[in-house]
Amino acid sequence: MKTWRRAGLYLGISSLVTAGAVNLAMPAQAAASSSAIVKTGGTRAGEAWFNRSNGTHSNKAWFDVYDAKCDAEPVYVQYSINGDLKDYTQENDGGCGTTMGVNLQTGYFTIKYRVCVDNGVFSDSCSSWKSDHN
């Protein structure tokens, strides 16, 4: 009986060690460096994720712009690179539940951005400005 318990203990320990080694070998999914959320009517309407270059997207940094609300109002990201006085805008007009990718550039740079909802005639609803770098 002691032999079976000892064998079970060794098998259990070796399984844990093997599982740990496998988990260490697998690369983690890349996460966004930062994000901004805009709300309308108290609920999330859109989100922008800034992703630093990581070897994908032609080794460029990029945004994912998500339209979270079925309100027929497009979501866009507004950004400035390296303190440039010109703000750039990329709109996701694909409708609710869609995400649009926007490739930026390679190399080191600083970025200031926010995500907005195009409310039509009146002023747009926007998140606060976020800062990050590649």
Closest CA to 108 of 44, 55, 52: 52
In angstroms, rounded to a whole number, what is the distance separating the alpha carbons of residues 114 and 91?
A: 12
By residue range, what is the domain housing residue 96? 34-133
- Residue 68 domain-assigned (yes or no): yes
- Residue 26 domain-assigned (yes or no): no
Residue 94 has pLDDT above 80, yes or no: yes
- Residue 28 domain-assigned (yes or no): no
Q: How large is the average pLDDT for residues 53-57?
A: 90
Q: How large is the average pLDDT for residues 4-19?
A: 45
For residue 62, name the pLDDT band (cuts at 50, 70, 90).
very high
Predicted pLDDT of residue 2: 52
In angstroms, rounded to a whole number, what is the distance separating the alpha carbons of residues 102 and 9?
A: 52
User: Can you give the CATH number for the domain in which 113 is found?
Assistant: 2.60.40.10
